[in-house]
Amino acid sequence: AASPRPPNSRPYLARLHTMQRPPTEKLRHIIPEMSMKKCAPIEKWAKYREDAHRYFKITPKTLRDIILWAVIVPIGIHHLMKDSQVKMDEACGRKRDYF
């Protein structure tokens, strides 16, 4: 007779938790149907993304985007947060010694 399992024992969950799928590249010679199918447009985009530093040039448009997202947006978020904190402090009667 088999030994009884504890009531909350789920051995299949433990196996699933620790089970990892082996990389398909290592299995290609063993199981050919597990080889990866490549999509040409995705591979082209991935190659472009890998080499983006080679193709990047400062133009008026990229400079505008850099200034917008790296300077103006963070400063705007800071001022919005600061103003809301000052209003909350005034509403709660707290004295502000800074800002």
Which pLDDT does position 62 carry in this prediction? 96
| Cβ–Cβ under 8 Å, residues 89 and 96 | yes
pLDDT over threshold 70, residue 3: no
pLDDT tens by residue, 28-64: 666 666 566 788 999 999 999 999 999 899 999 999 9
Which pLDDT does position 14 carry in this prediction? 52
Domain positions in the chain: 19-92
**Whole-Å CA distances, 3 to 6, 73:** 10, 65
Taking CA 50 as the corner, what is the angle to CA 24 and CA 26, rounded to the nearest 5 degrees? 15
pLDDT over threshold 70, residue 10: no
What pTM was computed for the model?
0.51
